[in-house]
Amino acid sequence: MKLLQPETYLIGLVGLLAILAVLVGRQLLRTRKDEINLLKLEKSGAASSREASDLYELASVQLRKRLFPQAVTTLKKALKRLENEPDEATALIENALGFALAAQDDFEAAVKHYKTALKAKEDYPVALNNLAFAQEKLMKREEAIELYQKVLNFEPNNKTAQKQLKRLEKIGNVDSPNSIDDRGF
């Protein structure tokens, strides 16, 4: 039994539409889940909570929803309410605040918060990657390169740092991959 050209075309089209339907459905479910979480947190009074963890959770949802100005306000409240929390909590909140500021193109302020996150937890690869990205946006490429190399010292298989260093190599800001290792980073 031979398939004719129109039948093959229709089968391919139906397959493509099925894949698209699954992808769109997954995105809708994620968005709906974030909406529900945001409503629950707002109804439970998380914005006026005394707990930094509640505020961080609310800010995380706000970041996923790309509500950056609201997330900045929430994260600043969370920083004020940090009491007897481990340094890792401070690092998480400071990094998230830096991310929210960077998303609004305030890279100077973002750098300040990323550095504070790294003071709280020196071996925090996410904050290092974010700081490197912000430094790059501020046209401080050599500092960005050093930071990406530092990330690779903590996590040799860190995909973000590897990708960014390769990209910087392509535009001519790094001599060669071997010279990176020679510097001892």
pLDDT at 116: 95
Asked whether residue 23 carries a pLDDT value surpassing 70, the answer given is yes
pLDDT at 43: 74
Question: Which fold would CATH assign to domain 123-185?
Answer: 1.25.40
pLDDT tens, residue by residue, 36-63: 877 777 777 666 666 888 889 889 989 9
Asked whether residue 119 carries a pLDDT value surpassing 50, the answer given is yes
Residue with tokens 């391919």: 12
Rounded Cα–Cα distance for residues 102 and 99 (Å): 5
Average pLDDT value for the chain: 85
Greater confidence, 36 or 182?
Answer: 36
Asked whether residue 86 carries a pLDDT value surpassing 70, the answer given is yes
pLDDT at 6: 83
* CATH class of segment(s) 29-97: mainly alpha
pLDDT tens, residue by residue, 130-180: 999 999 999 998 899 999 999 999 899 999 999 999 998 787 644 444 433
Asked whether residue 122 carries a pLDDT value surpassing 60, the answer given is yes
The full DSSP string for 23-34 is HHHHHHHHHHHH
Asked whether residue 108 carries a pLDDT value surpassing 70, the answer given is yes
Asked whether residue 102 carries a pLDDT value surpassing 50, the answer given is yes
123-185 has the same fold as 29-97: yes
Domain ranges of the chain: 29-97, 123-185
